[in-house]
């Protein structure tokens, strides 16, 4: 698969697990200068070992001050960013019978606010790349669940839908600056996070397949990178059905214990 001909300056979060780890290994192998962020310092160090083009930057994205400091460190190290891929996030499912607002806040903080803290820190860096005459792009990982409301996904789905809307709106405002914005909408991917799911995951793919789809989409400048397409097209179609039909279909997915 063809990607960039020249090394890119890239910041990747969520780099030590799942899709992020596979992306990190691919980008490093291709020779890009990659700043890798995750919370686990030991796993970051192991990932970067033997790669002179890797910069380990441990980070909790829910800490806005730490994210702003990370942005300043990247500026000092690289001068700017050609690409930022904000992939860190979490997933917890809500039991409506035991409404847990702390769970909702945790998920929204990680998936929405944490990602936007990173966007805030990255904007001066991608603008610096544009001033150098280089293409520049922001990419965030949302979810196919942003297309369609699902049972127990109140917090997770809302965080991803809000993130997708925010970035699609930001894309419009950044267009005059020629800064690209890609929103990544994965279906089910086999990762340590999805391994905790206790329900069927149709058309699940491997992280290598997900990384292929993401890198191909980023290289081509796609605004909506969604995969596997046979799954995401179905979810998109369900998402535009009339409300009564969406509700009827969604009710069939509710567990017996919830009814």
Active-site positions? 156
DSSP characters for 97-157?
Answer: GG--HHHHHHHHIIIIIHHHHHHHHHHHHHHHHHHTT--EEEEEE--GGGGS--TT-HHHH
Please state, in angstroms and rounded to a whole number, the distance separating the CA atoms of residues 22 and 8. 17
Burial 195-229 (b: 16+ CB within 10 A, else e): eeeeeeeeebbebebbbbbbbebbeeebeebbbbe
Q: For the chain, what is the largest distance between any 2 Cα atoms, rounded to a whole number of angstroms?
A: 58
């Amino acid at each position: 698969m063809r990607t960039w001909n020249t090394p890119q300056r890239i910041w990747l979060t969520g780099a030590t697990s799942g899709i992020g780890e596979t992306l990190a290994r691919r980008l490093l192998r291709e020779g890009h200068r990659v700043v890798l962020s995750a919370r686990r310092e030991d796993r970051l160090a192991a990932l970067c070992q033997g790669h002179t083009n890797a910069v380990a930057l441990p980070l909790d994205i829910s800490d806005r001050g730490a994210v702003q400091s990370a942005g300043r460190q990247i500026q000092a190290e690289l001068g700017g960013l050609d690409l930022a891929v904000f992939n860190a996030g979490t997933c917890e499912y809500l039991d409506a019978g035991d409404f847990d607002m702390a769970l909702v806040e945790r998920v929204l903080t990680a998936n929405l606010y944490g990602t936007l803290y990173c966007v805030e820190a990255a904007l001066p860096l991608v603008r610096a790349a544009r001033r150098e005459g280089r293409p520049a792009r922001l990419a965030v990982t949302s979810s196919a669940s942003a297309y369609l409301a699902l049972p127990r996904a109140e917090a997770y789905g809302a965080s991803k839908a809000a993130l997708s809307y925010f970035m699609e709106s930001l894309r419009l405002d950044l267009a005059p600056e020629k800064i690209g914005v890609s929103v990544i909408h994965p279906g089910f991917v086999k990762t340590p996070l999805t391994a905790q799911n206790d329900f069927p995951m149709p058309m699940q793919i491997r992280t290598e397949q997900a990384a292929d789809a993401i890198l191909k989409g980023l290289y081509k400048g796609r605004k909506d990178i969604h995969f596997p397409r046979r799954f995401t097209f179905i979810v998109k179609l369900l998402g535009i059905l009339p409300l009564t039909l969406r509700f009827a279909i969604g009710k069939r997915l509710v567990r017996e214990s919830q009814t």
